[in-house]
Amino acid sequence: MRMDHYTLLQKIGIYLGIGLFLMFVLLPFLEMFRTSLSPMSHLFHAPYEIWNSEMSFQAYRDMWDKVPLLGRYIWNSIYIASMVTALSMIIITPAAYAYARLEFPLKALSLGAFLSINMFAGAVLLIPLYRLLNSLHLLNTYWAMIIPGIAFLIPTGIWLLKGYLEKIPRELEEAAYIDGASRVYTLRRVVLPLAVPGLIVVGTSVFIGAYAQQYLFAITFNQVKELQPLPAGLNQFIGYQSVEWNQMMAAALTGVLPVMAVFFFLQKYLVAGLTAGAVKE
Amino acid sequence: MSDQMVSDTASAPAVARRRGLSETWFAWLLIAPAVLFTAVIVAWPLLETVRLSFTDATINSESWVGLANYHELLGSAKFYVVVGRTFFWMALSVSLKLVVGLIGASLLAAAVPGRALFRALIMPPWVIPIAIGCIGWLWLYNGQFGFISGMGQRLGLLDGPFEFLAYKRSAFYSAIVTDVWVGTPMVSLFFLAAMQGVNRDLYEAAWVDGAGRWYRFRRITIPQIMPTIISMALLSAIWTFNSFDIIYILTQGGPRGGTTTMIIDAYKTAFGNYNLGEGATRAVAIVVLLGLFSLAYLNILNRVNRHYGVK
C-alpha cells in the first residue's frame, strides 16, 4: 500500500468535494450560458424554467447589432491589459533584479514602501488621480486607464519576480564579471535569458490583474464610448426600458473567451510557477 | 597561502565594482523607474488626498476649511456604522476565503485522476474581469427570474420570489458570497502551490510512523504552509477592505446603505456629489485604519512566525 492510496470511500468523498467546489465556482458561468441561449420571453417567465424548447444561439448574432461597438470593447480590454503588462514588466524587471541581487542603502525601507502600496487600492486615490489626469489632458484617453493600473501592479510584481531571480545561481553572474562584462551586459545577456520562465509567470499574473480590474478606472476616467473596455461597454445592453440579459450574457462570455482560452493552456505553468516563486526553500 | 586565497576571493567583486557604476548607483538606477512612477501615481496623490481632506474642494474650486471635514465625519453616527460594517465585511469574507480556499486546495492537491482539469476549471473567477462575474451574480440574485430564487421556490425553500439584493441583510450576505467567489480561486491556487512545495519526506516519515491523513494535514501541511496562509490573509484582508467593483455593481452600496463600506462611501461622496474634500477625508480614514490594522497584523505575524520557527 502506498501513501497516496485512497480507499473507494475516500475517492468518492474527494470527487464529491471537488464537484461541490467546482459547482460554486462555475455556477455563474453555467447560468450566464443558459441565459445567453434563452429568448427574452422565456427569461422573464415564472416559474423558473431551466430549459425550454426555444433555446438557440440567436443572441450571439443579435448582440453585434444591438451594441455595434462590442468587438471594439473586447479589443480595448485586451489592449489596455497588454499595454499595462508590457509597461509594468519594463519597470518591474530591473527593480526586482536590484532587490534580488544588489546591496544598497535604503534597500529594506524602499522595498517596504513599495509593498505598502498594496494598501492604497486605486479607489482610495481616485480624487487626486482624476485631477492629475485632467491637468495632463489624459482624461478620456487609453492612457487614463493604463497609467493608474500600472502603479498598483508594480509592488506585487517586484515581490514575485525577486523570488525567481534569487534562485538563479549567483556564480554565473560572477563568472561574467570576471570575464570583464559590464553590469548592464550581465543583466541583459546572463540574467534575463535565465529568468524567462519567471518573467512569463509574473507577466501572466500582472496581465490577470490588469484585465480583471479595469472597471473602476474606466468608469471614472473615461467617458468616450469607443475607448471603453468590455466590462464598462456591457452597460449598453441595459436600456431605458429593459435589459437584454441574454445578449449581455452572450457578449460577456464571448468577450472573455479569447483570454480564457489562453489561460486554459497557460494555467499548468502558472501553478507550477507560483510554486517556484512563492515558496522559499 | 591562506592570505593569498582570502584576497583573491575578495578581489572578484572589487574588480566588478571598479568598472563602471558602483553597486549603489547601479541599484538606484534600476529601481528609479519604479520609484518615479509610484511617486507620481501613488505617493503624490496620497499627499494630495491628505491636503484635499482639509478643503471643501469640488471639481473647479477649493478653499481651506481646516478640520471641518474631520469634525463632521467623526461627529456623525453613520460613519461609525460604516466603519463597523467594513471591518465585519472584511473579517467574514476573508475567513470564508481562507477556509474555502484551504478546503479547495486540499481537494485539488489530492492525487486523483482529472486533477489537472479541475485546477484549470477553478481559474475563471480570478482571470475574468471582476465586473463581468458580478453581472452573472446580479442575474443569479434576481428575485423574479433568477436561478437562486427560482430553484429555492421549486425545492420549496422559498414561499415566493425573493429579491436577494432588495433587503439590507440579504444584500450584504449576497455581496459576501460574491466576494468570496471572486477571491477564493486565487487563494486556493496559492495554497495549492505552497502545499506542493512541502517536502514529501516529512509525509513519508509520518506515514511510516502510522500517522493518518488528518493528523498529517494538521501537523505537517498546516504548519508548513503557515507563512503562505499568513501573508495571503493580510493581502486578502487589504483587498477585501477596499473591494469596490463587487459592491458597486451589485448594490451601489444600497439598499438604504446596507452594503456601504468605507470605500463605497468615499467614492460616492467624491464622485456622486463631487464633494472631493469630504471624499478625501473618508479616503484618509481608510488609509489610517488599514495602516493600523496592518501594523497590528504584522505584529501578530512576527509572533506566530517565531512560534513556528520561521525566519
CA pair distance A79, A91, nearest whole angstrom? 19
- pLDDT of amino acid B228: 83
From chain B, pick out residues whose CB is under 8 angstroms from the CB of A29.
124, 136
CA pair distance A38, A56, nearest whole angstrom? 7
Closest C-alpha to A263, from A207, A198, A195: A207
Structure confidence by residue, pLDDT tens digits, A158-174: 988 888 888 888 888 88
Q: Any CB–CB contact under 8 A between B10 and chain A?
A: no
Residue type present at position B299: N
Q: Is the dihedral of CA A179, A180, A185, A186 positive or negative?
A: positive
Residue type present at position B250: L
Residues B33 and B73 in one domain: no
Residues B48 and B88 in one domain: no
Q: Is B188 left (phi over 0), alpha (psi -120 to 50) or beta?
A: alpha
Of A86-90, A221-225, B142-146, B183-187, the range with the lowest mean pLDDT is B142-146
Residues B42 and B180 in one domain: no
Q: Any CB–CB contact under 8 A between B157 and chain A?
A: no
DSSP state of A238: B
CB pairs under 8 A between A and B: 289
Q: Could you say which of B27, B37, B126 has the minimum Cβ distance to residue A154? A: B37
Residue in the structure block whose three cell numbers are 570575464: A179
Q: Could you say which of B139, B245, B279 has the minimum Cβ distance to residue A216? A: B245
Name the residue in chain B with its Cα closest to that of A19.
B118
Residues B36 and B176 in one domain: no
CB contact under 8 A, A252 and B16: no
From chain A, pick out residues whose CB is under 8 angstroms from the CB of B20.
182-183
Residues B120 and B205 in one domain: yes
Taking each helix axis as running N to C, give the angle between helix A142-165 and helix A245-278, from 0 to 180 degrees, rounded to the nearest 10. Answer: 30
Q: Does B1 reside within a domain?
A: yes
Q: Any CB–CB contact under 8 A between B125 and chain A?
A: yes
Q: How many domains does chain B have?
A: 2
Q: Is the pLDDT of residue A276 over 80?
A: no
From chain B, pick out residues whose CB is under 8 angstroms from the CB of A174.
12-13, 16
CB contact under 8 A, B147 and A147: no
CA pair distance B85, B243, nearest whole angstrom? 13
Last residue of a domain, one of B15, B30, B52: B52
Q: Does B57 reside within a domain?
A: no
- Find how far residue A113's CA is from the centre of its chain: 24
CB contact under 8 A, B154 and A48: yes
Q: Does B275 reside within a domain?
A: yes
Average pLDDT over residues B86-103: 96
Q: Any CB–CB contact under 8 A between B111 and chain A?
A: yes
Q: Is the pLDDT of residue A83 over 90?
A: yes
CA pair distance B27, B104, nearest whole angstrom? 41
- pLDDT of amino acid B71: 92
Residues B36 and B142 in one domain: no
Q: Could you say which of B26, B181, B244 has the minimum Cβ distance to residue A216? A: B244
> Do B133 and B217 form a contact (C-beta atoms < 8 A)?
no
Q: Does B61 reside within a domain?
A: no
Complete domains list, chain A, with CATH: 1-56 (no CATH), 67-278 (1.10.3720.10)
Radius of gyration of chain A (CA): 24
Average pLDDT over residues B166-183: 94
3-class DSSP state of B308: helix
Q: Any CB–CB contact under 8 A between B289 and chain A?
A: no
CA pair distance B167, B255, nearest whole angstrom? 6
- A169: which 3 cell numbers? 545561481
At residue A2 the predicted structure's pLDDT band, cuts being 50, 70 and 90, is: low
CA pair distance B285, B294, nearest whole angstrom? 14
Q: How many C-alpha atoms does A42 have within 13 Å on its Cβ side?
A: 15
* Alpha-helix runs per DSSP H in A117-188: 126-135, 142-165, 170-178, 183-186
CB contact under 8 A, B194 and A180: no
CATH code: domain of residue B230: 1.10.3720.10
Q: Is the pLDDT of residue A77 over 80?
A: yes
Name the residue in chain A with its Cα closest to that of B127.
A208
Residues B29 and B136 in one domain: no
Query: What interface predicted TM-score (ipTM) does this complex get?
Result: 0.85
Residues B94 and B243 in one domain: yes
Residue type present at position B159: D
pTM (2 d.p.)? 0.86
CA dihedral A219, A225, A231, A234 (to 10 degrees): 120
- B22: which 3 cell numbers? 558602483
CA pair distance B283, A83, nearest whole angstrom? 28
Q: Could you say which of A77, A98, A180 has the minimum Cβ distance to residue B30? A: A98
CB contact under 8 A, B52 and A127: yes
CA pair distance B262, B19, nearest whole angstrom? 53
Structure confidence by residue, pLDDT tens digits, B202-237: 888 888 888 888 888 888 888 888 878 888 888 899
- pLDDT of amino acid B311: 44
At residue A275 the predicted structure's pLDDT band, cuts being 50, 70 and 90, is: low
- pLDDT of amino acid B105: 92
- A17: which 3 cell numbers? 468535494
Residues B12 and B76 in one domain: no
Q: Is the pLDDT of residue B16 over 60?
A: no
Q: Any CB–CB contact under 8 A between B262 and chain A?
A: no
- pLDDT of amino acid B89: 96
Closest C-alpha to A247, from B23, A239, B118, B117: A239
- pLDDT of amino acid B310: 53
Q: Any CB–CB contact under 8 A between B110 and chain A?
A: yes
Q: Could you say which of A91, A127, A275 has the minimum Cβ distance to residue B276? A: A127
Judged on CB neighbours under 10 Å (0-12, 13-18, 19+), A112 is: exposed
CB contact under 8 A, A256 and B52: no
- A219: which 3 cell numbers? 468608469
Cis-peptide into B33, omega within 30 deg: no
From chain A, pick out residues whose CB is under 8 angstroms from the CB of B111.
4, 6
CA pair distance B103, B229, nearest whole angstrom? 13
Residues B34 and B113 in one domain: no
- pLDDT of amino acid B1: 40
3-class DSSP state of B74: helix
CB contact under 8 A, B145 and A44: yes
Structure confidence by residue, pLDDT tens digits, A217-266: 998 899 898 999 998 888 888 877 778 888 999 999 999 988 888 887 77
- The alpha-carbon gap from B246 to the nearest alpha carbon of chain A, in Å, equals 10
Q: Does B58 reside within a domain?
A: no
> Do A103 and B23 form a contact (C-beta atoms < 8 A)?
yes
At residue B50 the predicted structure's pLDDT band, cuts being 50, 70 and 90, is: very high
φ, ψ of residue B74 in degrees (nearest 5): -70, -20
- B119: which 3 cell numbers? 485546477
Q: Any CB–CB contact under 8 A between B215 and chain A?
A: no
Residue in the structure block whose three cell numbers are 479569447: A258
Q: What is the b/e burial string over B287-311, where b = at least 16 CB atoms within 10 angstroms of the residue's CB?
A: beebeebbeeeeeebeeeeeeeeee
> Do B136 and A249 form a contact (C-beta atoms < 8 A)?
yes
Q: Domain range spanning residue B22?
A: 1-52
Residue type present at position A229: P
Q: Could you say which of B31, B128, B227 has the minimum Cβ distance to residue A95? A: B31
Query: Which of A5, A14, A25, A253 to mutate: most B Cβ within 10 Å?
Result: A25
Cis-peptide into B255, omega within 30 deg: yes
Q: Does B278 reside within a domain?
A: yes
Q: Is the pLDDT of residue B57 over 60?
A: yes
Q: Any CB–CB contact under 8 A between B258 and chain A?
A: no
Residues B114 and B137 in one domain: yes
Q: What is the b/e burial string over A139-148, where b = at least 16 CB atoms within 10 angstroms of the residue's CB?
A: bebbbbbbbb
> Do A243 and B135 form a contact (C-beta atoms < 8 A)?
no
- pLDDT of amino acid A279: 44
Q: Could you say which of B20, B125, B145 has the minimum Cβ distance to residue A43? A: B145
Residues B97 and B196 in one domain: yes
Q: Could you say which of A27, A91, A178 has the minimum Cβ distance to residue B34? A: A91
Q: Does B202 reside within a domain?
A: yes
- The alpha-carbon gap from B107 to the nearest alpha carbon of chain A, in Å, equals 6
Query: In three state form, how does the secondary structure of B17-73 look?
Result: HHCCCCHHHHHHHHHHHHHHHHHHHHHHHHHHHHHHCCECCCCCCCCECCCHHHHHH
CA pair distance A68, A200, nearest whole angstrom? 35
- pLDDT of amino acid B286: 92
Judged on CB neighbours under 10 Å (0-12, 13-18, 19+), B169 is: exposed
Q: Could you say which of A21, A90, A127 has the minimum Cβ distance to residue B104? A: A21
Judged on CB neighbours under 10 Å (0-12, 13-18, 19+), B120 is: middle
